[in-house]
Structure 1
Amino acid sequence: MRTIDTDVVVIGGGATGAGVVRDVAMRGYRAVLLERADLAQGTTGRYHGLLHSGGRYVVSDPRSATECAEENIILTRIHADAVETTGGLFVSTPGDDPEFPDRFLAGATASKVPAEEISVGQALRREPRLNPGIFRAIAVEDGSVDGWQMTWGTVNSAKAYGAQILPYHEVTGIERDGDQVRRVRAHDHKNGEDVTIDCTFVINCGGPWAGLIAGLAGCHDVEVVPGRGIMIAMNHRLVNTVVNRCIYPTDGDIIVPVHTVSIIGTTDVKASDADRLTIPADEVQEMLDSGEAMIPGFRQSRAVHAWAGARPLVKDTRVSATDTRHMSRGMSILDHHDRDGLKGLLTITGGKLTTYRLMAKNVVDEMCQQLGDTRPCRTAEEAVPKSESGKTYVVTHRLEDREADRMEEQIICECELMSRKMFLEEMRGRPSANLDDIRRVTRLGMGPCQGGFCSTRAAGLALHDGLIDVGRANGLLELFLKNRWIGLWPILYGAQVRQTALDQWIFSGTLDIEHLPEPEKAVL
């Protein structure tokens, strides 16, 4: 059994956990982050890509609105390479409440969220695909952010300060010595070994799984309600600005341009299990109908992938336990010394990706206070690696890169302009990674073909370069296609049906993928 000695263990490798381990490491503590799967594979990687201006919450949750507005400015600076400053519009579509825009503007002023009403003509010139029947438009400072890139930038910063980042390490126990946390036990799924980590403090950033993690320490009264939401990616940018309906937050009221696609979201339904999230057919239709209200012709566009994520919502006694739409989006820090008589354990949940850095600051401040140690937070002052220039992301950046190396570099994924060099560098850096792990940082297979062409090239290249053997190449390919299929079957209509049929002919008819030799070791 491997043993590690550290000061702080952070559990959960989403944006919040990454932010906490970075903050802890920058304050000079030894830190280890544990994540049971890949980084940002849970809630952080399963959302619509919005960098909130705060506008969405100026009426429903003013405190969250203010936090989002303040953090938007900070994240745009410290995560410049992951942020696209698209701007945003809140528009009133035919049939919407004509009085809500005035409530919106008043709420924006009160919560200090920058907002300016513009003419309908200005809005239509800015976004020609908008419903010409809109009758009011308000400009805000929404943006688009790559959650995976942001999380990896955060952990790379943490590693530069000495933190250890351990993905695919599932926590199996949190042990105490009397009323004090003393160690965490975890299982390394990649290598099949158990790990013991001696520590003096644990910060639980498990999101919708935070209650289960707290239970491992004997703290069984942590109620986090998973709010399931589905999203659909359309195959190109129908808009270049974030477009919101100017109504009280509801299902399918936002379209976000992210990289080369547009994402519509989202529903909000209580889930019983954050690990098993359905994508109901009626909710898919609801998203398409909602998109049509904002962008006429939305239904005729090609949907390429659907997915579901679980928001970690704090249980609110003021609303029904099933009414997740009206639960607070604010953060909540649980002190298990006060609640459960256990020192050295804090749980943080709620919040939003846009406020991840503030959440980390607040919980690490609380840890320092409990330790009687004054160490100021510096995360707002220092950009993460690759964002030092302050230059934000633009959708054409990969085209620019390929223009520079087109004579030397082979394109592996035409949809996302991923080169051979990009793929192989990631595989060499993480030899135990599966193709989905690589997808989250390179966007492999995230375009219209959904891996139909590029997945076989990727597996073949890794084999050709000696990074994997034949059995593992087969296993990686099969798992990747299986995971792509999960997001395809709910949206099989129109052009995507033809694409999926073609892919099926390639993989079953030509490669007979169902009967390839199995790898000696299961692919996670």
Structure 2
Amino acid sequence: MREKFETEVVIIGGGMTGTGLLRDLALRGIKTILVEQFDLGHGTSTRNHGLLHSGGRYAVKDKEAAIECYRENIILKKTVPGSIEHTGGLFVKIPEDPDDYVHKWVNMCNETGIPVEKISLEEAFMQEPYLNKRAEAVYRVPDASVDPFTMLTDVAADALNRGAGLLTYHTVSRIETKNAEVSYVVARDRYTGVEKEIHAPVIVNASGPWGAYIAKLAQIPLKVINNKGMLTVLNHRINKQVINRLRMPGDADIFVPAHDVTIFGTTGRNVEKPDDTSLEREEFKQMVEDGKALIPNLSNIRSIRAFSGSRPLFEEEGEKDLSGRNVTRGMALLDHEKREGLKGFITITGGKLTTFRYMAEKTADLICEKLGLHQGCLTQEIAVPPRQSKEFLKHPSLPALAKKKLCSWAGINNSQIHSNLEEDNRVVCECEQVTWAEIQLYINQSNHFNLEDLRRRTRLGMGPCQGSYCYHRTAALAVEKEGVSGEEAAEALTDGMDKRKKGMNVVAHGATDRQLKMMEGVTAVSLGIKKGGKAHV
């Protein structure tokens, strides 16, 4: 039997844009259900360098995107402070970069209102000792570092508190239309196979790289360029501030400090499939070689792992340049009633992590127009509750949503974790200091056991050992203490370890190669798992 529900808006896609829209609509009092095919942030939103743009990167090539980035930079620092580190950023000119670009860049930053301060080379080298001593000029901008994992969690939690519905691990298989108007969405539970039929007068396609596929379900043609970028995680934090190369944006020109590591990248290659997260060793080697222009000692700094994700870029059919680098980083808000005559269908795509709130605001404004409502946006004023506050996640709303089968996702606040620490405060992941108390709460409030989901929530396995020990411990404890079946734990362990090894393989040399061999030895000797085999817990 197919379960049927009614709401005002259905959002397809649980990245930062879709989640931001869910919260915006919840603040406006509009009934909304978000449907995501995997976990929140499975796609592009957690596969990036975690930069809160000042706008400086796009000042010359994309003025509107630069203005949007700087404005949102200021707003997000006030409204989502728990996920942002005020690192500041540097733009560095080296001899190989054109002299005339610096003058043009400074002028455009001034024109767009982005604060720029030239600092002495001596000061720059003192602050960032790894920086290339051949640098000719250094400018400071208000870049910052974002933790996209906590930002997604916190924004989603606040939306749920305000009555929103959220279905993770539900794949949209059908968008039904009638008389040139959207009618309902069919979403299938990836674990149980149960289908849900969700009726709504407005359906929003916020699925990023999957945008063309979702549009096709509604029989709407849409061209989305999936521009895949590779990044790598350095095993310690080599820079205090974001370091950018002062030239037109290109490959291997940015270093972003994140927690105790640095994220370096990125590349840009167009790919056909939205879920193409493949990694190539030659691409990694070339990226490191290019990155030496900013950090000459880069090849001697250990890379823990590499990862990749696709940027969803939109251009109208007929545009000449579809290479990826020259496509605008601005958002594209498409009203398919005006474009193709399908009432109630909207696509929001493009943009940046930095501009997710603004993208949500403009999309929500269009939704209100279509629903005949006049509620204004509140996300630029109302902050996401800090993680330690009582308001972060009031679970009385979640059980009610779960009973209605409109919530298949759980978040936890710090007070819940601390109260659980009294019972079991053992550290399961030494690298990231993740305790069993924290993991246990997520397991208890989740519909399935998935180590990668736990990683996104707690940073389990994100440290130098890449889950070599903590994934095994977590799987074993889940069976022993939480009643997770051995088969389910074994499947989660095999899947989790395979994903960790994928990112390590492409950078495997020196210490990382030894780490990978040790990881394989642990699984082979301790658990009897041969390469490519399955775990037994």
TM-score by length of 2: 0.91
- The 3 A distance-change label for structure 1 pair 77 and 352 is same
Shift of 1:66: 0.8
What secondary structure is seen at the aligned counterpart in 2 of 1:195?
A: strand
C-alpha distance in 2 between matches for 1:282 and 1:317: 32
1:380 aligns with 2:380: yes
C-alpha distance in 1 between matches for 2:217 and 2:164: 24
What secondary structure is seen at the aligned counterpart in 1 of 2:104?
A: helix
Unaligned runs of 5+ in 2: 390-413
C-alpha distance in 2 between matches for 1:205 and 1:295: 37
Q: Deviations over 1:90-134 (max 9, x none)?
A: 011232222322211111011111111111111111112211111
- Alignment-mate amino acid for residue 152 of structure 1: T
Q: Aligned residue for 2:171?
A: 170
1:14 aligns with 2:11: no
1:444 aligns with 2:460: yes
Q: Aligned residue for 1:214?
A: 215
Q: Aligned residue for 1:150?
A: 151
- Alignment-mate amino acid for residue 331 of structure 2: M
Q: Aligned residue for 1:414?
A: 430
Q: Aligned residue for 1:454?
A: 470
Q: Aligned residue for 2:346?
A: 346
Shift of 1:319: 5.8
Task: Answer yes or no: is the 8 Å Cα contact 1:284–1:490 preserved in 2.
Answer: yes
Q: Deviations over 1:108-163 (max 9, x none)?
A: 01111111111111111111221111110000111111112111111111111100
- The 3 A distance-change label for structure 1 pair 516 and 360 is closer
Shift of 1:423: 1.4
Task: Answer yes or no: is the 8 Å Cα contact 1:291–1:298 preserved in 2.
Answer: yes
* Counterpart among 511, 518, 521 of residue 505 in structure 1: 521
Q: Aligned residue for 2:328?
A: 328
Q: Aligned residue for 2:78?
A: 77
- Aligned pairs (5 A) from 1:81-160: 81-160=82-161
1:357 aligns with 2:373: no
- Alignment-mate amino acid for residue 482 of structure 2: G
Task: Answer yes or no: is the 8 Å Cα contact 1:23–1:377 preserved in 2.
Answer: yes
Task: Answer yes or no: is the 8 Å Cα contact 1:187–1:195 preserved in 2.
Answer: yes
Q: Number of aligned pairs? A: 506
C-alpha distance in 2 between matches for 1:441 and 1:251: 30
Task: Answer yes or no: is the 8 Å Cα contact 1:83–1:146 preserved in 2.
Answer: yes
Q: Aligned residue for 2:190?
A: 189
Q: Aligned residue for 1:265?
A: 265
Task: Answer yes or no: is the 8 Å Cα contact 1:316–1:327 preserved in 2.
Answer: no
What secondary structure is seen at the aligned counterpart in 1 of 2:292?
A: helix
Shift of 1:340: 1.7
C-alpha distance in 2 between matches for 1:322 and 1:285: 25
- The 3 A distance-change label for structure 1 pair 152 and 297 is same
C-alpha distance in 2 between matches for 1:322 and 1:313: 9
* Counterpart among 424, 427, 431 of residue 443 in structure 2: 427
- The 3 A distance-change label for structure 1 pair 37 and 270 is same
Shift of 1:431: 4.0
Shift of 1:229: 0.6
Task: Answer yes or no: is the 8 Å Cα contact 2:494–2:534 preserved in 1.
Answer: no
Q: Aligned residue for 2:480?
A: 464
C-alpha distance in 1 between matches for 2:172 and 2:449: 20
TM-score by length of 1: 0.93
C-alpha distance in 2 between matches for 1:260 and 1:459: 26
What secondary structure is seen at the aligned counterpart in 2 of 1:324?
A: coil
- Alignment-mate amino acid for residue 130 of structure 1: L
Q: Aligned residue for 2:411?
A: none
Shift of 1:441: 1.4
Q: Aligned residue for 1:44?
A: 45
Task: Answer yes or no: is the 8 Å Cα contact 2:53–2:70 preserved in 1.
Answer: yes
Shift of 1:15: 0.2
Task: Answer yes or no: is the 8 Å Cα contact 2:444–2:482 preserved in 1.
Answer: no
1:292 aligns with 2:308: no
1:483 aligns with 2:499: yes
Shift of 1:317: 6.2
* Counterpart among 509, 520, 526 of residue 493 in structure 1: 509
- Alignment-mate amino acid for residue 281 of structure 1: R
Shift of 1:508: 1.1
User: CA RMSD of the aligned region, Å?
Assistant: 2.0
Shift of 1:316: 5.3
Shift of 1:474: 1.1
What secondary structure is seen at the aligned counterpart in 1 of 2:482?
A: coil
Which is worse superposed, 54-63 or 310-319? 310-319
- The 3 A distance-change label for structure 1 pair 406 and 297 is farther
- The 3 A distance-change label for structure 1 pair 210 and 155 is same
C-alpha distance in 1 between matches for 2:422 and 2:278: 41
C-alpha distance in 2 between matches for 1:152 and 1:60: 33
- Alignment-mate amino acid for residue 166 of structure 1: L
- Ranges of 4+ aligned residues in structure 1 off by more than 6 Å: 405-408
Task: Answer yes or no: is the 8 Å Cα contact 2:169–2:190 preserved in 1.
Answer: yes
- The 3 A distance-change label for structure 1 pair 363 and 517 is closer
What secondary structure is seen at the aligned counterpart in 2 of 1:233?
A: strand
Q: Aligned residue for 1:250?
A: 250
- Alignment-mate amino acid for residue 335 of structure 1: D
What secondary structure is seen at the aligned counterpart in 1 of 2:157?
A: helix
C-alpha distance in 1 between matches for 2:372 and 2:444: 43
C-alpha distance in 2 between matches for 1:84 and 1:450: 24
- The 3 A distance-change label for structure 1 pair 270 and 110 is same
Shift of 1:385: 2.8
Task: Answer yes or no: is the 8 Å Cα contact 2:304–2:507 preserved in 1.
Answer: yes
Q: Aligned residue for 2:394?
A: none
C-alpha distance in 1 between matches for 2:296 and 2:319: 35
Q: Deviations over 1:446-505 (max 9, x none)?
A: 111111111111111211212412111111111100111121111111110101111111
Q: Aligned residue for 2:410?
A: none
Shift of 1:346: 0.5
